[in-house]
Structures are given as C-alpha cells and as structure tokens.
Amino acid sequence: DAKTTQPPSMDCAEGRAANLPCNHSTISGNEYVYWYRQIHSQGPQYIIHGLKNNETNEMASLIITEDRKSSTLILPHATLRDTAVYYCIVRRGANNLFFGTGTRLTVIP
C-alpha cells in the first residue's frame, strides 16, 4: 500500500475553509484515497473517498491532483465540531486500512 504523509497539526478559524493536505507519491493506479476523522474518544468516521476525479458530499470535498500523488480534503465552513484527527489513507479497498497518525485539526472560535 502507498504511504501517506500528513502534517501533524493544523488550525483553522471557525467559519473558514479547512484545507488538509496529504501526499501519496507512491500511489498505484487501482488505489483509492480515503479520508476518515476521529473525534476524541469516538470511533473513526468515514468522510469521503475518491480514485481519480474530485469528489464532493455533504461533509467535504476531495481534490486529487492529476498525477494522483497528492490530495486535499476541504471542509468548506469549519465548525468547532470539526475539531478532530483526520486520517488520509490510500488503499485498494476498505480492508486492512493503515491509519498512521493523521492531522490534528483544531477549529478556533
């Protein structure tokens, strides 16, 4: 599986867009980019995933570069409840996900 690199922490002002980067330069053609988040003391929550095209759902947008070596998760209007650890995972499927240590996003009032 491709390895991912994320910044350990980020801050974002409440109401602003939060842009969380992820590098996955060794990604294979059949590997998806998944994003999960974990709010303190809860189980991880699925956010979004994509293969090649940009994706958007009710929670977030996922922008994948044309060469697929990096991606950005965008929370369009961050709220205090978005404070969490965000994990970027590259995998062929949802089996045996490697979470790493993620990015700790703090939304500031």
Partner 1 sequence: ETGVTQSPTHLIKTRGQQVTLRCSSQSGHNTVSWYQQALGQGPQFIFQYYREEENGRGNFPPRFSGLQFPNYSSELNVNALELDDSALYLCASMESPSGANVLTFGAGSRLTVL
Which residues between 19 and 48 bind partner 1 (CB under 8 A)?
32, 34, 36, 42-46
> Would you count residue 80 as binding partner 1 (CB under 8 A)?
no
Q: Which amino acid is at 76?
A: P
Which strands sit side by side in the sheet containing 70-75, from one edge to the other?
Answer: 18-23, 70-75, 61-64, 55-56
CA distance 58 to 44: 17
**Judged by CB, which is closer to partner 1: 94, or 108?**
94
Site residues (CB under 8 A) for partner 1? 32, 34, 36, 42-46, 49, 51, 85, 87, 93-102
